[in-house]
Amino acid sequence: MKAIRVIDSHTGGEAWVQEGILGSRFRAHYRRAGEKIVPVISGTAFVTAEATLLLNPEDPLCRGIRR
């Protein structure tokens, strides 16, 4: 529950609004469901780009570092 204490210390348990440099905003808060923390986020987003990842099978780290 350390995450809840950190969030509460910054928000007082209330919802907060995050605004980006272009003025886009989203509103967030959380609710508890027993021992679980359920984030609730609302706002509007737009797809601004698409990308294709080219993975080289010869690269030992092409899929990241795995244990």
pLDDT single digits (tens) 29-62:
888 888 888 888 999 888 889 999 899 999 988 8
Per-domain residue ranges of the chain: 2-43
Using the predicted structure, report yes or no on whether residue 12 has a pLDDT greater than 80: no
pLDDT value for 58: 94
pLDDT value for 7: 60
d(C-alpha 30, C-alpha 13), whole Å = 8
Query: Which residues, including other chains, have CB under 8 Å from residue 30's CB and lie 6 or more apart?
Result: 4, 7, 37, 38, 39, 40
The residues that bridge with 27 in the sheet, in sequence order, are 17, 42
pTM, two decimal places: 0.47
